[in-house]
């Protein structure tokens, strides 16, 4: 039986009220323990690499992550995913993004993400439509982003309660409806109270805020878009909100800070890569089994609809 593509697997997640974790790997040695944990929990995940992880960390780029994934190839349990490639990056610089997608699609990524969220709406739509067309021509899924999922920028965030109460950066419902219709994106990353973990120097080891989600707002976005929704900045969100979010369209959730800090902390304390990998394995198992309730979910996700 032919394996399902990533697009179909994420659709299965939405249909069955599950959220597939996309584990971000800023260090290549993290790939193996994540893959092992996912297989041991008989779950399914995406191994994600985002531009900040090869610019500010040591992931080295889409081809390097794909090559590392190929060493542990297990398509029944995981697939590589190209995460956040921004048009304007977290430091305010224009990114030559098209060649990055060309490379990723050439080496075999089945899903990619274009982040035009720092652009005006019309420009975000145009950039996302372009990348969607590239991805679809290669048989891959494309994720867009609308709204401001803060946290990657340099400097501290405003107080979280102030951000949440004001709805600053939240995805606009009517803009989301138009965005999905005009871009043809397969998945939409939304901002409903979630924030990224810091990637700027001096902030990387700080504990993330225990964020929450505006579930009512999320439900309106789900109704307006009718496609799988994505939650970036999944580390540290209170579990009750995660589980409620899954009931309102969240079918993919990005986890980065949680496993990155486990790796960095163990490496600093022991100086041993093996200990750092063990810490990633243990934390990934915990996330799958106790945080996302995804242990044993592989059969449901990878079965034909």
CATH number of the domain that residue 111 is part of: 3.20.20.70
Domain assignment present for 305: no
- Structural domain span for residue 145: 6-298
Domain assignment present for 38: yes
pLDDT tens per residue, range 205-214: 666 567 789 9
Query: Mean pLDDT across the chain, nearest whole number?
Result: 91
Tell which residue, 273, 226, 282, 302, has the closest CA to residue 45.
Answer: 302
pLDDT tens per residue, range 111-154: 999 999 999 999 999 999 999 999 999 999 999 999 877 655 55
Segment 16-20 shows an average pLDDT of: 96
Measured between alpha carbons, how far is 257 from 121 in angstroms, rounded to an integer? 29
Under the banding of pLDDT at 50, 70 and 90, the label for residue 193 is confident
User: Can you give the three-state secondary structure of 104-151, one letter per residue?
Assistant: HHHHCCCEEEEECCCCCHHHHHHHHHHHHHHHHHCCCEEEEEECCCCC
pLDDT on residue 198: 52
Domain tally, the chain? 1
Domain assignment present for 142: yes
Domain assignment present for 290: yes
pLDDT on residue 3: 81
Segment 58-71 shows an average pLDDT of: 96
Domain assignment present for 1: no
Domain assignment present for 304: no
Judged against a pLDDT cut of 60, whether residue 197 lies above it is answered with no
Percent of the chain with pLDDT over 90: 80
Domain assignment present for 149: yes
Domain assignment present for 130: yes
């Amino acid at each position: 039986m032919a394996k399902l593509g990533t697009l179909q697997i994420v659709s299965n997640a939405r249909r069955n009220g599950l959220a597939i974790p996309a584990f971000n790997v800023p260090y290549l040695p993290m790939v193996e323990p994540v893959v092992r944990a996912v297989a041991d929990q008989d779950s399914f995940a995406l191994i994600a690499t985002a531009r900040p992880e090869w610019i500010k960390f040591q992931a080295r780029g889409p081809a390097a992550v794909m090559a590392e994934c190929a060493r542990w190839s297990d398509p029944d349990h995981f697939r590589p995913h190209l995460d956040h490639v921004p048009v304007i990056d977290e430091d305010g610089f224009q990114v030559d993004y098209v060649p990055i997608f060309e490379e990723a699609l050439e080496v075999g990524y089945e899903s990619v993400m274009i982040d035009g969220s720092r652009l005006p709406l019309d420009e975000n739509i145009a950039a996302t439509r372009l990348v969607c067309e590239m991805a679809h021509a290669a048989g891959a899924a494309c994720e867009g982003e609308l709204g401001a999922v803060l946290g990657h920028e340099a400097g501290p965030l405003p107080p979280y309660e102030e951000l949440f109460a004001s709805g600053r950066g939240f995805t606009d419902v009517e803009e989301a409806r138009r965005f999905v219709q005009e871009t043809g994106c397969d998945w939409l990353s939304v901002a409903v109270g979630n924030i990224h973990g810091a990637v700027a120097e001096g902030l990387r080891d700080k504990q993330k805020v225990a964020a929450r989600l505006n579930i009512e707002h999320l439900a309106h976005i789900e109704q307006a878009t009718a496609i799988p929704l994505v939650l970036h900045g999944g580390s540290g969100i209170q579990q009750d909100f995660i589980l409620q979010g899954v009931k309102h369209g969240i079918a993919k959730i990005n986890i980065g800070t949680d496993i990155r800090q486990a790796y960095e902390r163990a490496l600093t304390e022991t100086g041993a890569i093996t200990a750092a990998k063990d810490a990633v394995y243990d934390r990934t198992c915990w996330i799958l089994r106790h945080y996302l309730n995804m242990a044993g979910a592989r059969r449901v996700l990878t079965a034909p609809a």
